[in-house]
Amino acid sequence: MRINTLSLFALVSLVPTLVVASLSGSVGRLTSVSTKAARKTCNVLDHGAKADKKTDLGPPLASAFAACKSGGLVHVPPGDYAMKTWVKLANGNAWALQIDGTIYRTGTEDGNMIMIEHTRDFELFSSTSSGAMQGLGYEFHKDDKWSGPRLLRLWDVSDFSVHDFILVDAPSYHFSIDTCTNGEVYNMAIRGGNRGGLDGLDVWSTNIWIHDIEVTNRDECVTVKSPSKNILIENIYCNWSGGCGMGSLGKDTDISDITYRNIYTWNSNNMMMVKSNGGSGSATNLLFENFIGHGNAYSLDIDSYWSSMSSLGGKGVELSNIVIRNWKGTEKNGAERGPINIICPDGAPCYNITIEDFAMWTEDSSRPRQGYSCRSAYGSGFCLKPGSDSHHAPYPETTSTVSSAPSGYSAPTMAADLKENFGITVSIPIPTIPTSFYPGATPHSALMAHGH
Ligand SMILES: *[C@@H]1O[C@H](CO)[C@@H](O)[C@H](O)[C@H]1NC(C)=O
Ligand SMILES: *[C@@H]1O[C@H](CO)[C@@H](O)[C@H](O)[C@H]1NC(C)=O
């Protein structure tokens, strides 16, 4: 394997230490792949793997990892592999996993096909930007089975990078980042079935930069869960999805300093949803900036009485210091679901919310109107009630309806918005990673296939 050291250095120098205030320090793997490869390379083919789409990759991958977990590079070369048993790659240090082949799920156990845990200085990538895991989830879903394995999970991993990798059709979730720190995740395509429960990327962690990701599914696109802090999510293309969100939030919610920006959402349940029903704790210092949507059911949807979860009791999760800025585009049916829905708990009203430069309009020309709804929510803009910082009384839902389009709502579409979903009963094709995730925004790093 050949690594272009020069371009790796170039890549490192492009990554700023602090991207915006949301992050609390530098992110990403500490040691370059070339250094790891030079120290030791463990090719799975030398550990019993066969690219025959039959031999179980699980044991060879675990064996290659055992030989290279302290400072080396584990390589899965191009080719088609079957994976029947799952691997837990634990306690590695300064290692990398280069998957240039395609891994087809053949086993049916629950759990995580690849789980990385208790690890520092880690990188997972494909040098061709075409390495993939094909979960063949439709084999479960066509029989109405909704459990089965998740594809990829990182747990207690620090100083890591995951990039140039494709996840397809998970039987269950695609990618979870659980209690990790200082991570960078970028240049990925995630494509799942058109059904709830098949989350794209879920993160509950500290100091993570997630950027330039495309998700197709019918549930979470890129979602922050509790506890989390210092997370920056940008250049996200929800290309027919559930949409981005935070939650579901429950008891002792502890979320702060989260930025979502440059989020393009097409044909999804929502552009940004913060969901809870009862619970406690808080989510504060949130910035949702530069959102474009088309064809979505909800747009901005903060719902503290979310009917799809049963109430947890408690006074509710307190939301504060939220800026919603520069949202453009259209929603599917504004007469039924207006673009602003801020429903806060009566027991813990939201405060210091600012909505500015927000212009969206309905796609339903037969009913040219839309509503803005607020409940127990304070701040400035639209239906928010202005209020003191010291005392926020609950108030019932109020909706203001407008029947003409706000100026400046029109916004570009992406050239290749998905026209039809992939359903749940037939195999989902493996996509290529796009090179644009938000109209007019250039990805922060070129694909490895294009020279990095
Ligand atoms: C209101 O929220 C903004 C944005 O998060 C923040 O900068 C400001 O300090 C908050 N104001 C108060 C009084 O906390
Ligand atoms: C959106 O998804 C469809 C179907 O997967 C694909 O054809 C299209 O290229 C995607 N758009 C982009 C920009 O990747």
Domain that holds residue 192: 23-210
Check whether the bond before 161 is cis (ω within 30° of 0): no
Query: φ, ψ for residue 303 (rounded to 5)?
Result: -130, 100
* Segment 312-360, tens digit of pLDDT: 999 999 999 999 999 999 999 999 999 999 999 999 999 999 999 999 9
Q: Which atom of ligand 1 is closest in space to residue 285's alpha carbon?
A: 5
Q: How far is the CA of 321 from the centre of ligand 1 (A)?
A: 5
Residue 364 in any domain: the answer is no
State which of 261, 321, 325 you would mutate to test the pocket of ligand 1, scoring each by most atoms of that ligand within 8 A of its C-beta. 321
Number of structural domains the chain divides into: 1
Phi-psi region of 75 (alpha: psi -120 to 50; beta: other; left: phi over 0): beta
* Strand pairing report for 102-105 and 150-168: unpaired
Terminal CA-to-CA distance of the chain, rounded, Å? Answer: 14
Instruction: Answer whether 431 contacts ligand 2 (Cβ < 6 A).
Output: yes
Helix or strand run (H / E) with residue 141: helix 138-141
Residue 41 in any domain: the answer is yes
Instruction: Answer whether 418 contacts ligand 2 (Cβ < 6 A).
Output: yes
Tell me what pLDDT residue 419 has.
80
pLDDT surpasses 60 at 5: no
Query: What is the average pLDDT across 353-375?
Result: 97
* Segment 65-117, tens digit of pLDDT: 999 999 999 999 999 999 999 999 999 999 999 999 999 999 999 999 999 99
Query: What is the average pLDDT across 419-437?
Result: 90
Residue 239 in any domain: the answer is no
pLDDT surpasses 60 at 7: no
Beta-carbon-side half-sphere exposure of residue 19 (alpha carbons within 13 Å): 25
Residue 389 in any domain: the answer is no
pLDDT category of residue 451 using cuts at 50, 70 and 90: confident
By alpha-carbon position, which residue is closest to atom 13 of ligand 2?
Answer: 416
Report whether 424 contacts 122 (CB < 8 A): no
* Cα distance between residue 76 and residue 61, in whole Å: 8
Check whether the bond before 227 is cis (ω within 30° of 0): yes
Distances (CA, A) of 42 to 77, 128, 129: 11, 18, 20
Residue 196 in any domain: the answer is yes
Tell me what pLDDT residue 417 has.
77
State which of 352, 384, 388, 390 you would mutate to test the pocket of ligand 1, scoring each by most atoms of that ligand within 8 A of its C-beta. 352
Residue 96 in any domain: the answer is yes
Query: φ, ψ for residue 37 (rounded to 5)?
Result: -65, -40
Residue 187 in any domain: the answer is yes
Residue 284 in any domain: the answer is no
CATH number, domain at 163?
2.160.20.10
Ligand nearest to the CA of 438: 2
pLDDT surpasses 70 at 135: yes
